Amino acid sequence: MATAIPEALTVPEVMAALRMSRSKVYDLIRAKTLISFTEGRCRRIAVDSLADYIRTKTEESRS
């Protein structure tokens, strides 16, 4: 059985993907640099939002 690719990630999953601390990920969320949403008490980050953040940071480093 194939596993589906998630469309929304948890904060710990984003922490692992970016190799950043929990507080740094929440700083990015507060600054609206990394767009997130909540469902109930759960904070989620769309995979597209994470990809946009990485793309933006990569483009900035090339400049």
- Greatest alpha-carbon pair distance for the chain in Å reads 44
pTM: 0.86
First to last CA, the chain: 44
Which residues pair with residue 45 across a beta bridge? 9
**Mean of pLDDT over the chain:** 93
The rounded distance, in Å, linking the Cα atoms of 48 and 34 is 10
pLDDT given at position 2:
60
pLDDT given at position 4:
72
The rounded distance, in Å, linking the Cα atoms of 20 and 26 is 10
pLDDT (mean) for 25-34: 97
pLDDT for residue 1 is more than 70: no
pLDDT given at position 9:
96
Band of residue 59 on the pLDDT scale cut at 50, 70, 90: very high
